[in-house]
Amino acid sequence: MRQFPVAWRWALAGLIAVIALAAALWPRGRDTDTTADNGQQARSSAGISEQQRSAANLAACPRPAPGTAGSGPLAGIPVSCLADGGAVDLAAALAGKPALLNLWAYWCGPCAQELPYLQQFAQRAGNAITVLTVHSDPDEAKAISRLTGLNVKLPGVLDADARVRTAVGAPAVLPISVLLRADGSVARVEVRAFTGVDDIANTVAQELGVAA
């Protein structure tokens, strides 16, 4: 009779040890699996499929000539091309030709009204000036979807952290059009939506001397 309580105590201690070990190991394995699953879902939701890019049919982004180094306030600012997801050295890609950069976002109503005018202006101006859209929001999928819905095919880049706006000293509003000289310097920051193709053409002619 004296040994029975001792045996019970050893059995109870062993059971507690087994339960504690199982409790310690089980959450770790589950947390690891959950973290891995969440990471995989985040990567999947952030990706843009080739089908989405193909459906948008955006014009290719400008690329720098070999050995070209960009200058001006946009020098050293990397962005990604909406057409193919590739990296773009913005200042270098725009060097040597006047440019109109239109800063916009998928959620901006006035931007949606203005973008078709910019496309018409680009068609009218031809090779005299580079017209480039700059999506100033990190949601690339919605940017591509918005351009597809508007049937706007202009070359565009993603500026997820609005470094372009900061570099040219523009306020935190949209849309904004940045007129760049061929040497990369800023001729004007237009903080408004253009009202039509002629409005764009007149502003570009006045600030950059490019007739269209």
Identify whether residues 65 and 101 lie together within a single domain: yes
Average pLDDT estimate for 74-94: 94
Identify whether residues 60 and 87 lie together within a single domain: yes
Distance separating alpha carbons of residues 150 and 129, to the nearest angstrom:
22
Identify whether residues 179 and 106 lie together within a single domain: yes
Q: How far is CA 169 from CA 108, 165, 176, 210, in A?
A: 20, 6, 11, 24
Identify whether residues 116 and 191 lie together within a single domain: yes
Identify whether residues 84 and 188 lie together within a single domain: yes
Whole domain around residue 1: which residue ranges? 1-46
Identify whether residues 150 and 98 lie together within a single domain: yes
The residue behind tokens 């040994």 is 3
Identify whether residues 20 and 121 lie together within a single domain: no
Distance separating alpha carbons of residues 116 and 152, to the nearest angstrom:
6
Identify whether residues 63 and 37 lie together within a single domain: no
* Residue finishing a domain among 26, 46, 66: 46
Write the CB contacts of 179 (distance below 8 Å, at least 6 apart in sequence). 98, 99, 100, 186, 187, 188, 189, 190, 203, 204, 207, 208
What is the distance between the terminal CA atoms of the chain, rounded to a whole angstrom? 107
Identify whether residues 129 and 28 lie together within a single domain: no
Question: Looking at the predicted structure, is the pLDDT value of residue 135 above 90?
Answer: yes
Cα three-residue angle 129-132-136, rounded to 5 degrees:
150
Identify whether residues 166 and 66 lie together within a single domain: yes
Q: Tell me how many domains the chain contains.
A: 2
Computed over every residue of the chain, the mean pLDDT equals 83
**pLDDT for residue 7:** 53
Write the CB contacts of 195 (distance below 8 Å, at least 6 apart in sequence). 117
Query: pTM of the predicted model, to two decimals?
Result: 0.77
Structure token digits, residue 119 = 């496309």
Identify whether residues 104 and 2 lie together within a single domain: no
Confidence band, pLDDT 50/70/90 cuts, at residue 41: very low
Assign residue 129 the CATH number of its domain: 3.40.30.10
**pLDDT for residue 12:** 55
Identify whether residues 104 and 3 lie together within a single domain: no
